[in-house]
Amino acid sequence: MKKDNMVAMILAGGRGSRLYDLTKKVAKPAVYFGGKYRIIDFPLSNCANSDISVVGVLTQYESVLLNSYVSKDQNWGLDAKDAGVFVLPPREKDDTGFGLYRGTADAITQNIDFLDQNEADYVLILSGDHIYKMDYAKMLAAHKAANADCTIAVMEVPLKEASRFGIMNTNEEDIIVEFEEKPAQPKSNLASMGIYIFSYDVLRQYLVEDDQKADSNHDFGKDIIPALLNTGKKCLAYRFEGYWKDVGTIDSLWEANMDLLNPENILDLADPSWKIYTEDVNELPQFIGANGVVDNAYITEGCVVDGEVKNSVLFTNVKVEEGAQVIDSVVMPNCVVKAGAKLVRCLVQENTIIPEGVELGHENSDKIDLITYKNAKKEG
């Protein structure tokens, strides 16, 4: 086994209930993003680009699609000899029977055997529902340099929004002295990004202890991190500067997609040195027809545009027929916008057909309209 082996564990069991119908049949990490990706492509590609070879994916809610999606590890180049993506849903056990994951920490506790098997020296805990690019190797280097027990990635947020996050109060060496979950009166603006590196021996001990506590939520933020701090373990705040977005609501998902239209966007998906990998859909390149009008758009393979697309993001295989208009909208894979239909400020669920002449969404709406294959017929 290689030296300083870091195993990544991606928490991908959440539903993301504020995404409504988008997560009715799939967990949030499997939701589409950015034309050709799914959200979980981001942590998986970050792992691959950070030279991590073993990635466990902890799934629970509606996991059939997600399990088969991530198990194709060749899509992220995680299929080398010693590498792999391992799907870890809850399982039946000899002593405790079948138990769902009771919290983020419990999901790891129940897979301690997996971490033991892979001879982890460090464990990287990630969440499967954020959009960002990050070199975890640099974070590990900081963890080792500081001789820390736990390193938590943090980013500066506007102070007035800090009460929505888990806030780290640190000393001048960025050592965390206090952690407050959604504080009413935040003392700092360093928010936790839900990305942790633990030295495995320390993590293992705290997970086993936490498992015995009857009153614990078995959660990293609520239980494990406070326990480490209370017992004097060294927790380092690792400052991240760059694009990071939690796409937990229809509005924030729409907004993060629209961010891609800005050529100055620091996420820069076109950067060849840090590619985001995804499944290969094997579609034709995109066709812009003789009647097509494309103005400020982000379009991917398989699309056929013979109508007007303005300030919008089209996902794989979207068809925009002649005379149709797609404005300020995000249209997920395999949708058809029929002739004469009009979408304004909409987010359209995959596989939806917008019938001829139907107009949906409003120019001045304060909320983005979610169009599903059930409500697509509604006249706007």
Partner 1 sequence: MYEALGIVNFENSDVTVGGLTDYRPVAALSFLGRFRMIDFVLSNMTNSGIQNIQVYTRYGGRQLFEHVGRGSQYNINPKRGKLQLLTSDKQFRNDVYNHDIAHFMEHMRFIEASKCPYVVIAPSYFVHCCDYSEVIKHHVEAGNDITVVYSSLENADKNCLECDTLTLNEEGRVTAIAPNIGKNKNVELSLETYVMERKFFIELVKKADETSALYWLKDIVRDVCDEVKVGGYKQTNKVCCVSSLRTYHLNHMELTNHVAAEEIFKPEWPILTKTNDSAPTQYAPGSKVKGSLISNGCFIEGTVENCVLGRNVVVKKGAVIKNCIISADSFIGENAKLENVVVDKDAIVNHVKKLNGTADAPIYVKRADRI
Q: CB nearer to partner 1: give 276 or 335.
A: 276
Q: Residue 304 and residue 264: Cα distance in Å, rounded?
A: 26
Note whether 304 binds partner 1 by CB under 8 A. Answer: yes
- Kindly state the DSSP code that residue 159 receives in the 8-state scheme: G
Within residues 33-52, the interface with partner 1 by CB under 8 A covers 34-36
Note whether 147 binds partner 1 by CB under 8 A. Answer: no
Q: Residue 296 and residue 139: Cα distance in Å, rounded?
A: 36
Q: CB nearer to partner 1: give 226 or 292.
A: 292
Note whether 290 binds partner 1 by CB under 8 A. Answer: yes
- Kindly state the DSSP code that residue 275 receives in the 8-state scheme: P
Within residues 63-92, the interface with partner 1 by CB under 8 A covers 74
Options 65-73, 137-145, 177-185, 267-275: segment touching partner 1 (CB under 8 A):
267-275
Q: Residue 68 and residue 72: Cα distance in Å, rounded?
A: 7
- Which of 294, 331, 348, 376 touches partner 1 (CB under 8 A)? 294
- Which of 8, 12, 30, 297 touches partner 1 (CB under 8 A)? 297
Options 82-90, 224-232, 244-252, 279-287: segment touching partner 1 (CB under 8 A):
279-287
Note whether 181 binds partner 1 by CB under 8 A. Answer: no
Main-chain dihedrals φ then ψ at residue 90, nearest 5 degrees = -60, 155
CA 161 to chain centroid, in Å, comes to 21
Note whether 329 binds partner 1 by CB under 8 A. Answer: no
- Which of 59, 286, 325, 329 touches partner 1 (CB under 8 A)? 286
Element (H, E) at 168: strand 166-170
- The CB-of-45 to partner 1 minimum distance in angstroms stands at 9
Note whether 280 binds partner 1 by CB under 8 A. Answer: yes
Q: Residue 69 and residue 28: Cα distance in Å, rounded?
A: 13
Q: Residue 193 and residue 195: Cα distance in Å, rounded?
A: 5
Residue 230: which residues within 8 A CB-CB, separation 6 or more? none
Closest C-alpha to 359, from 328, 313, 334, 326: 326
Note whether 327 binds partner 1 by CB under 8 A. Answer: no
Note whether 288 binds partner 1 by CB under 8 A. Answer: yes
**Residue 206 one-letter amino acid:** Y
- Which of 177, 284, 365, 377 touches partner 1 (CB under 8 A)? 284
Note whether 114 binds partner 1 by CB under 8 A. Answer: no
- The CB-of-36 to partner 1 minimum distance in angstroms stands at 6
Q: Residue 320 and residue 307: Cα distance in Å, rounded?
A: 6
Note whether 131 binds partner 1 by CB under 8 A. Answer: no
What is the dihedral angle through the alpha carbons of 83, 88, 127, 254, rounded to the nearest 10 degrees? 100
Collapse the DSSP code of 140 into the 3-class scheme (helix H, G, I; strand E, B; otherwise coil) and give the result: helix
Q: Which residues here bind partner 1, judged by CB under 8 A?
A: 34-36, 74, 260-261, 263, 269-270, 275-278, 280, 282, 284-292, 294-301, 304, 306, 313
